[in-house]
Amino acid sequence: MCSPEHFAVEYAINPWMDVTAPVDPELAVKQWDRLRETLVGLGHEVHLLVPEAGLPDMVFAANGAFVVDGTVYGARFKHHQRAAEAAAHRAFYESQGWRFIAPNETNEGEGDFAYLPEAHGGLILAGHGFRTELPAHAEAQEALGRPVVSLRLVDPRFYHLDVALASIDDGNIVYYPGAFSAASQKVLAQLFPDAVLADDDDALAFGLNLVSDGANVVLNSEATRLAGRLKTAGYTPVPVELAELKKGGGSVKCCIAELRH
C-alpha cells in the first residue's frame, strides 16, 4: 500500500475524475489509514511504498505490478501522468528480492489482472479495452507461466478489470456482467457458474473494487446490497469508507497490491 499524502485530482484520465471537485487530503489519509488498520486487524501484513510528490495516483498501488508465485510482472502505464510510478514499484520488488520481469507491453498491473490459483489449475483473468493492451496478456502468460483468459471491457466507467470483477476465494469470483462484452460474459458464465453477480448500483458504488482473503471481504461501505449477497454466499463483508479516494476512480482494491509468494 502507498499513503495518499500527495493524493489529488490534478488531471482526468477516467470518467470518475473531476478536476473541479476538491479533495480533502487529510480525510483521504484518514480513510486510507482505516483501510490499512482493517487489513492488519484481519491478520494481514502490510508493506508500505513511499509516496512521491508529483505522483498523486500512487495511492492506487494495485496498478504498479502483478505478482504470481514470487514472480513480478511489472506495469507500463498507458497515461504519461502515471508512467513514473512503475519505477517506484520495480525498486520496491527488487529491494525485497523478488524476481522482476519488465514489461514491453502496456499494462496496469492488478488493475487489469486477477489470479485464481485453484480455478482450472491456476488461472489469470485479464481485462483489455481501455488501459491494458491485448498483447500484454500474452506477455503476462509467458512471464508467469499461467493460462490467461482475455476479457473485453466495454463500459468506460469500468476502465479496469478490478472495478468490474474480483476474486473472492482461490477459485471463485464476483463480477458485474454489464462491464463486459457479450462474448466475455459467456466466457465468465462458463468458467464460473457459481460466481456472485453484482448489479448496477453495486458496481457504480465501487463495490467490486474489493479484496478478499477467502473468508473476509473488504469492500466499499456504499455497496450494501453486494455486502448482503456476499454474506448469503458464506463470506464476511467488512465495509470501509473511502469516499475521498473514489474521486480518483478507485476504492479498496486499487489501494492494495497483493504479494503472492
Residue 191: how many other CB atoms lie within 10 Å: 15
Active site residue 160: yes
Distance separating alpha carbons of residues 22 and 209, to the nearest angstrom:
23
**How many residues are present in the chain?**
261
Nearest alpha-carbon partner for 90 in 250, 257, 248, 252: 257
8-state DSSP, 235: -
Q: Considering 2, 160, 255, 261, which one is annotated as catalytic?
A: 160
Q: Considering 2, 254, 255, 261, which one is annotated as catalytic?
A: 254
Distance separating alpha carbons of residues 200 and 198, to the nearest angstrom:
7
What one-character-per-residue DSSP string does 140-190 give?
Answer: HHHHH-S-EEEEEB--TTS-SGGGTEEESSSS-EEE-GGGB-HHHHHHHHH
Residue 242: how many other CB atoms lie within 10 Å: 25
C-alpha dihedral, 49 to 23 to 56 to 58, nearest 10°: 30
Distance separating alpha carbons of residues 243 and 146, to the nearest angstrom:
35
Active site residue 254: yes
Distance separating alpha carbons of residues 197 and 178, to the nearest angstrom:
10
Distance separating alpha carbons of residues 224 and 247, to the nearest angstrom:
19
Catalytic residues: 160, 254
